Amino acid sequence: MRSKIVAGNWKMNLTFAEAETLVDDILDLFDDQDEMNCEIIICPPLPYLELLTDYEFDEQQFNVGAQNCSAYDKGAYTGEVSAKILKSIDVDYCIVGHSERRKYFGETNEVLAEKINRLIENNMSPIYCVGEVLEEREAGRHFEVVKEQLEKGLFHLDGDAIYDTIIAYEPVWAIGTGKTATPEQAQEMHAFIRSMVKERYDEATADEIRILYGGSCNAQNATELFSQPDVDGGLIGGASIKANDFVSICQQASVIGKE
Ligand code: 13P
């Protein structure tokens, strides 16, 4: 049985003081809950990673992820942060290929494949994002687009490395728009992604790999999305920087995870 994951992508939000307050509020809310039966990953802006990795968590275990890393290993790449640097401060996860990076920073599937290689070399888990834009869905090309993103960005990995990877399906038209994919649309694409993993690797890998949904996932719709058989949790943007909403989403994942 795959355990659920809730990952919070804070994007480029919050000052340091606001981030501290958010973490304190989240921890206070967790204090009132039983231990969650799901994995939680928080992906803050880069300068705040150590704020999270340094926390002494009691009951609830958090994992910490970066939102991006360099495609290069080390050296004269001013402004870049390598997987090795992230790992050296106990960051174990990293989002790769978010649609905002594909769109605003021109990141191609080929560059993303290199980023994934650096993460795997440093024993980190990539959270690889795929998803179509609205025109592609309207043209009925969404499966084709996601297939290409998987084949070019991820499926070069061998059978061992793919086990450490999480896939996030984020339809671009649903990100930050309040227009969530229906549970049926999410399930259909997640089942397609899982079938692709089975075709490229094997059934056991397809059964194990976690596929998260992202795009206007919130405290109101988390349960119905996470209840879909191939939806293993969520990659949460806006709702992850609201303590009550984020903890509610984690709680919903935990309840479904126990069923
Ligand atoms: P929203 O939840 O704000 O739509 O963002 C989703 C996302 O991009 C997470 O990576």
What is the pLDDT at residue 59?
A: 54
pLDDT score, position 155: 98
Residue 187 confidence (pLDDT): 98
> According to the model, what pLDDT value does residue 61 have?
74
Instruction: Give dist(CA 35, CA 33) in Å, integer.
Output: 6
- Which residues, 6 or more positions from 127, have their beta carbon under 8 angstroms from its beta carbon? 7, 41, 43, 65, 93, 94, 95, 96, 165, 166, 167, 168, 212, 235
Could you list the mean pLDDT of each consecutive 10-residue stretch along the chain, which spans 259 residues?
94 97 92 85 96 69 93 98 96 97 97 98 98 96 98 96 95 92 97 98 96 97 97 98 97 88
Q: Which of 39, 98, 100, 142 is catalytic?
A: 98
Rounded distance between C-alpha atoms, residue 182 and residue 48, angstroms: 34
pLDDT of amino acid 220: 97
Candidates 10, 11, 221: which one to mutate for ligand 1, based on the most atoms within 8 Å of Cβ? 11
Cβ(217) to ligand 1 under 6 A?
A: yes
Active site residue 142: no
pLDDT of residue 57: 58
Q: How many residues does the chain have?
A: 259
Q: Is 170 a catalytic residue?
A: yes
Name the catalytic one among 100, 107, 136, 170: 170
Give the per-residue pLDDT at 58.
54
Looking at the CA of residue 98, tell me the nearest atom of ligand 1.
Answer: 10
211 vs 82, 130, 220, CA distance in Å?
A: 25, 10, 20
Is there an atom of ligand 1 within 6 Å of 175 CB?
yes
pLDDT of residue 54: 75
Which domains does the chain possess?
Answer: 5-237+244-258 (3.20.20.70)
Other CB atoms closer than 10 Å to residue 227's CB: what's the count?
Answer: 14
* pTM across the whole model: 0.96
